[in-house]
Structure 1
Amino acid sequence: MSVPVVLGVDIGTSSSKGVLVGLDGTLMRSAVREHAVDCPGPGRFEMDGRLWWEEFRELARELGQDAEVVAVGVSGMGPCVLLADSNDLPVRPAILYGVDTRSTAQIARLERELGAEEIRSRGGSDLSSQAAGAKIAWVADEEPELYSKARRLYMPSSWLVRRLTGAYVLDHHSASQCTPLYDVGRLDWHRPWADTIAPGIELPPLRWPGEPAGTLTRQAARETDLPEGIPVIIGTVDAWAEALSVGAHHPGDLMLMYGTTMFLVHTTPEHRTWPGLWGTVGALPGTYNLAGGMATSGAITAWLRDLFGGAYQELLQEADASGIGANGLLMLPYFAGERTPVMDPQARGVIAGLTLSHTRGDLYRAALEATGFAVRHNIETMRAAGGDIRRIVAVGGGTQGGLWTQIVSDITGTPQEVRATSIGASYGSAFLAARLVGEASIDTWNPVRHLVTPRPDAVTQYDQLYRLYRQLYPSTAGIAHALAGRQHR
């Protein structure tokens, strides 16, 4: 391959993905390394951080063979907490983002000590299972011997940057999800709280995603077979790299990511806070976000496939045949608790209306509709917070096939743009890398392929079902909480 290319790699929940992209946006090669998440106890989700570098090396060697790689972009799931010692050896497995709900006691303590309103005002978000700062506090409280060895904080993207360039650095967006350690108004760590909550940790200097982190070291070149000295970008959290991959980073835009979990990122020109949402800084300077995320979405469809068997395409066909309302089924998609706007780690999945006549297609349809209702709940909350959503751009593997995106547009009553390339965060990271070495426009790289428009009759029917959906959680929450207390895995 004689043309210059950029390498983009994203470390995700269920896999690491790499792409080799020409400087005009043409996808040349792609590769995936699947991996599993460790679940050592109820509400605990972890991963060995060393795996992130191992899979990056494998992807780089496979994709970069005989290619003229001129820059590298990285991203990863987040916010995660990987604590390492002074020799950059992890002291324990990385604690994952909001799906990990272990820090409930630390959240309650920090709210008492610092004040919930003060935390939201300074940090942009309420403390929740998404808050990386509370998870650092959990390690300090529950594993003091391991914590005493910790000196640095990493997330997947910054871990890769350290291995590639030797730079210890984190992007502003990722830092803004380390609530309550970061001050959104000052765009910097809030040292009084950081020194109290994360004593002994040398918090990384902060830069913006897409800025140069450094160049590939000789050691990293040996391990990856990439050219020594090529530039590497500051990375960021996967959902924000995904938003960049489809051009959803302007004020008024909402990126809707269809994946293992569902993520929503609405860009605003000023900082906003609201209970039940995450207020963060954006991926680019001068932007802010109201963000939301579901604990499960595609994870439920994968669970159903594992239970019932069959290929995804077959299940989608059966779900399509089931029709609006899934033959009288209604589901709460809280199978791993719920993040925004419910913010309830003890919430649980509910399937209401089951009879002996229901099929796997009905259940699959109910799962797709449940995620659509949850998306609408998040969008309504963002608008209540003052968000001005003028354009929705869909991205991720769930956009393939068309049924899921159609259901979401019908439930929300809003169109969705689908771009030509929906690979996701790895493509967005490659785009940022390309901007380091030349001119690159995402509208040229990744033009709009089609528009998913809501169907008026379906919108009317889903309005009625949405009212029932909103009643289902408060009607069953007490029972779900009691059952959650009896669950051991």
Structure 2
Amino acid sequence: MSFVIGVDIGTGSTKGVLCTLDGEVVAVARRDHAPSLPRPGWAEMDPVRDWWTEVAEILTELTTATATAASTSTTSTSTAATAATAATASTAASTAASTGTAGTVAGEGSEGIEVAAVCVSGLGPCVVQTDAELVPRRPAILYGIDTRATREIVELTEQLGADAILERCGKDLSSQAIGPKLAWLRRDAGAAWRPDDRWFSAHTYVIARLTGEWVLDHHTASQCDPFYDIHRQDWATDWVEAVLPGLALPPLVWPSEQVGVIHEAAAAATGLAVGTPVIAGTVDAWAEAFSVGVRRPGDLMLMYGSTMFFVQVLPAPTSVRGLWTTSGVEPGSHTLAAGMATSGTITTWLQDLTGGIPFRTLLAEAAAIPAGAEGLVLLPYFAGERTPIYDPLARGVIAGLTLRHGRGHLLRATYEGIACGVRQILDTFTGTERVVAVGGGTQGGLWTQIVSDVAGIEQIIPRQTIGASYGDALLAAIGIGAVPPDTDWTQADHVVVPDPSTADTYATLLQTYTELYPATRDQIHRLAQQ
């Protein structure tokens, strides 16, 4: 029996999943981490500790789970989960995910069980500079929540032209783009940037550690603005030379392509067999969209995670100011995307701020508060904001506080503020036919209900909500030809529909929310400079 493994490096954790070729979850594993915020506007990670080491540990744990499955044809038990039959695999996986350790479920026999392929996705786009031996020269710079390259964004926009960048790259330059961050690194590193240095995103660094190969998938490359032509789906080498002469560029592949095999050093570190195929993978949000069948034009994924993210499949490339047009997951495809800078991270901050009480307690208190949080409104710009306002100096605002407001009001206002931001972004999308909600924030029901109420949308909640690592596992199966390219493992669990009784309250709240940012922007910008 063959298994595939998917691993995703997220902002708050690394997660792995072991699956059969028909999408049954056999085991899961997790390691938690957090980005470093060494200066205002900076967001970093240690590529060795937070990316490679965690992925290696998870692969070791999952290959051990495979061996356990091979050794018995009855139920296997671990510290994370106990499953009576293969039919309860999803329940076991959910239990294991909550505890951060792997759970196993027996396979159909004890002979011929192997890991057939591995695929890795990761937060992104990120950038880490390494030497030729893959030793990082400095911490990795994260995606749009790292806003250090503001100067370079302005300079490159002036050099190449805002309209030309939008037309060729499918989006304006912003803190999400890798080009300005590479320019910042080149300027900061100076002579320390050597000709044989390489640069990676999170998942491609791990791929290099697993296989020795330096590649970049088309989707991630399409976020390396202004260095990728969205129409030709290839590097814009003339602009690379104009901006960063001599910068080496990795070969481009599609996320489902095999890019190499596990070499001996990686086998020793992970427990995988030498020669196991490794599939390219992509940025986590796109792997997550793939995991829930967001693959047809008009499909839109709404991801509830550390940040709120949106991915819509397009029939053809387009340029929409304020949104991001990118290459998609499947060969030749295109997507339109948007992202908020913070969402789930605010709930973690609030939980810590209120003494670390069990989150279910905080959630119950928020659910008991009526719509509108009794006059409280929150702007969720705790780390600046990406779409829709593109303001790295924006900051969180809580307005309307009184002595009667408690922690439950704050959580409800957080959910409602994020939902207002979602509504603003969704209003800029066109042609949306189906919304699929994914991510850890879909659990519990309150957050998704508030978003449906504020945004006026129906959301499909999949039965399997493991996320990007599940999409990676499917990409692994497709990449080795074990399943057809159009295979879709997702199944709907239920649909969240708007509650009409909240419509008037949320219309008023949305108006207040929309007016609050421009009314406080100048004052907030002054505070952000301190």
TM-score range, shorter chain: over 0.9
Aligned residues: 480
Distance 1:287 1:190 in 2: 18
For residues 182 and 169 of structure 1, what CA distance do their matches in structure 2 show?
15
Counterpart among 144, 156, 161 of residue 115 in structure 1: 161
Equivalent residue number for residue 371 of structure 2: 324
1:73-126 superposed Cα distances (whole Å, 9 cap, x missing partner): 110000001111222221211100000000000011111111111111111111
Q: Which residue matches 1:64? A: 63
Aligned partner of 1:229 among 275, 278, 282 = 275
CA distance in 2, matches of 1:460, 1:354: 21
TM-score of the pair, normalised by structure 1: 0.96
- Find the aligned partners of 2:329 and 2:62 in 1 and give their Cα distance: 27
Please give the secondary structure, in 1, of the residue aligned with 2:132. coil
In the other structure, the counterpart of 1:351 is 398
2:457 aligns with: 414
Greater CA drift, 86-95 or 128-137:
86-95
Retained in 1: the 8 A contact 2:176–2:223?
yes
Distance of 1:454 and 1:182 partners within structure 2 = 40
* Residue 374 (structure 1) aligns with: 421
Stretches of structure 2 lacking an aligned partner (at least 5 in a row): 70-113
The partner residue of 2:40 within 39, 42, 56 is 42
Query: For the Cα contact (< 8 Å) 1:333–1:370, is it kept in 2?
Result: yes
Equivalent position of 1:33 in the other structure: 31
Is the Cα–Cα contact under 8 Å of residues 293 and 488 in structure 2 kept in the other structure? no
The answer to whether the aligner puts 1:400 opposite 2:400 as a matched pair is no
In structure 1, stretches of 5+ residues that fail to align are: none
| Whole-angstrom CA distance in 2 between matches of 1:311 and 1:142 | 43
Instruction: Give the alignment partner of residue 466 of structure 1, picking from 510, 514, 519.
Output: 510
State whether residues 340 and 386 of structure 2, in contact with CA within 8 Å, keep that contact through their aligned partners in structure 1. yes
2:444 aligned partner, one-letter code: G
Taking the aligned partners of 1:405 and 1:344, their CA distance within structure 2 comes to 26
Contact in 1 for aligned 2:3/2:115 (Cα 8 Å): yes
Structure 2 letter corresponding to 1:321? A
User: Sequence identity of aligned pairs in percent?
Assistant: 52
Find the counterpart in structure 2 of residue 130 from structure 1: 176
Q: Which amino acid aligns with 2:387?
A: T
**Do residues 438 (structure 1) and 479 (structure 2) align?**
no
Q: Please give the per-residue CA displacement for 1:303-337, whole angstroms capped at 9, x wherever unaligned.
A: 00000031111111111111100111011100000
Shift in Å, 1:198: 3.1
Contact 1:91 1:147 in 2 (8 A): no
Q: Distance in 2 between matches of 1:403 and 1:470?
A: 22
Q: Indicate the RMSD between aligned Cα atoms, in angstroms.
A: 1.4
1:54 aligns with 2:53: yes
Q: Report whether the alignment pairs 1:158 with 2:204.
A: yes
Tell me the distance in 2 between the aligned counterparts of 1:144 and 1:85: 15
Aligned to 2:528: 484
Give the corresponding residue for 2:519: 475
Read off the aligned partner of 1:401 and give its amino acid letter: G
The answer on 1:140 being equivalent to 2:197 is no
Q: Matched residues in 2 for 1:324 and 1:150: separation?
A: 57
What does residue range 13-24 of structure 1 map to in structure 2 within 5 Å? 13-24=11-22
CA-to-aligned-CA distance 1:41-84 (integer Å, 9 cap, x gap): 11001111112111111111111111621110110000001111
Do structure 1's residue 93 and structure 2's residue 139 form an aligned pair?
yes
Q: CA deviation at 1:195?
A: 2.0
1:414 deviation in Å?
0.7
Partners of 1:129 and 1:29 in 2: how far apart? Answer: 36
**2:125 is matched with which residue?**
79
Residue 272 of structure 1: aligned partner: 318
Residue 457 of structure 1 corresponds to which residue in structure 2? 501
Greater shift, 361-370 or 274-283, is seen at 274-283
How far 1:249 moved relative to its partner? 2.0
Tell me which moved more, 91-100 or 34-43.
34-43
Structure 1 window deviating more from structure 2 (154-163 vs 388-397): it is: 154-163
**Counterpart residue type for residue 524 of structure 2:** A
Give the distance between the partners of 1:198 and 1:86, measured in 2 at CA.
19
C-alpha displacement at 1:219, in angstroms?
2.5
Q: 1:441 to 1:136 in 2, by over 3 A?
A: closer
Q: Paired residue for 1:252, among 294, 298, 302?
A: 298
Aligned to 2:102: none
Change (3 A) 1:441 1:416: farther
Contact 2:373 2:409 in 1 (8 A): yes
Query: Displacement of 1:424 after TM fit?
Result: 0.8
Q: What's 1:334 paired with? A: 381
Q: What is the alpha-carbon distance in structure 1 between the residues aligned to residue 437 and residue 485 of structure 2?
A: 18
